[in-house]
Amino acid sequence: MSQPAETMRLKPQRGPQTSFLASDADIVIYGGAAGAGKSFGLLLWPLRWVSNPRFGAVIFRRTFPEIEAEGGLWDESCGLYPLVGGVGRKHDMTWTFPSGAVISFAHMQTDDDRFKWKSAQIPAIGFDQIETFTADQFWYMLSRNRTSSGLPTQIRATCNPDPDSFVASLISWYIDQDTGYPISERAGVRRYFVRDGDELVWGNSVRELILRKGADPDTRPTSFQFIPATIKDNPILLNVDKTYLSRLRSMSLIDREQLEKGNWKIRAGAGIMFRKEWFEFVDAAPESVEMVRQWDLGGTEDGDPSAGVKLGFDRATSTYYIMDAISIQDVPHVVESAILNTASQDGRRVTVGLSRDPGQAGVWQISHLVTALDGYNVISSQEGGRGDKVERAKPTSAQCGHGKVKVVRGEWNNDFINQLVNFPSKGWHDDYVDALVNAHFTLRTSGTKSKEPPKPSVLGRVWSQRRDRTLVG
């Protein structure tokens, strides 16, 4: 006698994921932190209707590589949709189910990509990481959320905190505007809105909204929910990957607040990226440290200063040492002489790092300096990491925040620390910051090799003609 086939049940985890899938609101935004089970919940959501041959769903990610990348939506769906009879076609990112229902993935990399859907009727529309989309894309696709099949129309989205995205204003009622954290008693509360021109008119009930001045009584209000969640709402992940939480906590302060705690207000600003209390001041670095003198090259006498930061790395303790900082604001040939003199004083054991400007002038300048520094270990590279200055500074900020960066005492300390704690702020130079970030990038990606025993370093030198300095208290 044959054994009955094993039955597999797909069900959400208790808490926010269950609330997300159980909601019948028109629009539900789910998330606010990393690792909360958001994407899995989004993939589960349309399965309730796949027995209907007239059902169709499209789940969007901002770029195509994000869909097909390892561990992305397509990979996740491959472990889920075949369990309910789905047959996938990767070439067009589509799943077809036995009834004929279809779930597909698509992207809107440019703002105009939304117009490719101008004739579409999509009963179910999903956005994975909606904070990466523009408001125009979201509201346009809301108009495509329609059907003649009698099925309910729904929009579902996942998100991570981004205080500068349109999502931040959309969910502002749910967020404590002082702390940036979700208000627990408002989590999942259903609200309603109608459009009044470019403005949203909100109410806590349909009746309240219709009676409110500015709301058109002939317009059906849209129901809306925001359901916050954190990694603590995903015990399966915490059990499977026991290091995930520690990895979140190893990031920069901004990333930790956003991705671990779901903070919607925190953003880069003075005293956020770097704090004076993070640094321990010491008399000297260990003899065994690997060292780089990283230069951030300014332009002209009247332009941004050039800065050279000497950074050491002790592999035994995984600790960095800021050993010296020099700032020079002068004509190019004076800057070049200072770089050569500093290299001579540092000794050949210290790698010379040169951050390459992508312009032709920068290429020529670097080439000239490399020739002049013949005999030294020179590493020339683009500015370290990807993204803008703040994004590139995050790995360095994380190391500082975790107490892994010490500062060797010197006359240059106040100027250097003052610039760090005021980054990023208008009216302040960021040459020291750029040099430090690029030095950190050079050491962790390239490493350095000693070429000869060290020569005595001259610490505490500050070459600058600037007069706009304020000492750190």
What SS3 state is found at 124? Answer: strand
CATH number for the domain harbouring residue 304: 3.30.420.280
Region 441-464: mean pLDDT is 50
Q: What pLDDT is attached to residue 235?
A: 84
Q: How many CA atoms lie within 13 A of 293 on its CB side?
A: 29
Q: What is the mean pLDDT of the chain?
A: 84
CATH number for the domain harbouring residue 46: 3.40.50.300
Residues 59, 131 within the same domain:
yes
Q: What pLDDT is attached to residue 10?
A: 72
pLDDT > 70 fraction of the chain, expressed in percent and rounded: 84
Domain with 218, as residue range(s), is: 16-239
Asked if residue 456 belongs to a domain, the reply is: no
Residues 66, 142 within the same domain:
yes
Q: How many distinct structural domains can be found in the chain?
A: 2
Residues 227, 336 within the same domain:
no
Asked if residue 252 belongs to a domain, the reply is: no
Residues 45, 93 within the same domain:
yes
pLDDT band at residue 101 using 50, 70 and 90 as cut-offs: very high
| Cα–Cα dist 198/342, whole Å | 59
Q: What pLDDT is attached to residue 440?
A: 94
**Model-level pTM?**
0.65
Structural domain ending residue among the three candidates 189, 214, 239 = 239
| Cα–Cα dist 435/414, whole Å | 16
Asked if residue 169 belongs to a domain, the reply is: yes
Residues 60, 200 within the same domain:
yes
Region 272-295: mean pLDDT is 92
| Cα–Cα dist 295/96, whole Å | 56
| Cα–Cα dist 331/336, whole Å | 9
Q: Does 383 have pLDDT greater than 90?
A: no
Structural domain ending residue among the three candidates 239, 267, 288 = 239
Asked if residue 411 belongs to a domain, the reply is: yes
| Residue-wise pLDDT tens digits, 357-382 | 555 445 677 888 888 888 899 988 76
Q: What pLDDT is attached to residue 461?
A: 33
Residues 298, 390 within the same domain:
yes
Residues 214, 286 within the same domain:
no
Residues 207, 156 within the same domain:
yes
Asked if residue 49 belongs to a domain, the reply is: yes
Residues 96, 178 within the same domain:
yes
Structural domain ending residue among the three candidates 210, 239, 268 = 239
Region 48-58: mean pLDDT is 93
Asked if residue 261 belongs to a domain, the reply is: no
Asked if residue 244 belongs to a domain, the reply is: no
Residues 211, 320 within the same domain:
no
pLDDT band at residue 447 using 50, 70 and 90 as cut-offs: low
Residues 319, 176 within the same domain:
no
Q: Are 311 and 408 a contacting pair, CB within 8 Å?
A: no
Residues 202, 116 within the same domain:
yes
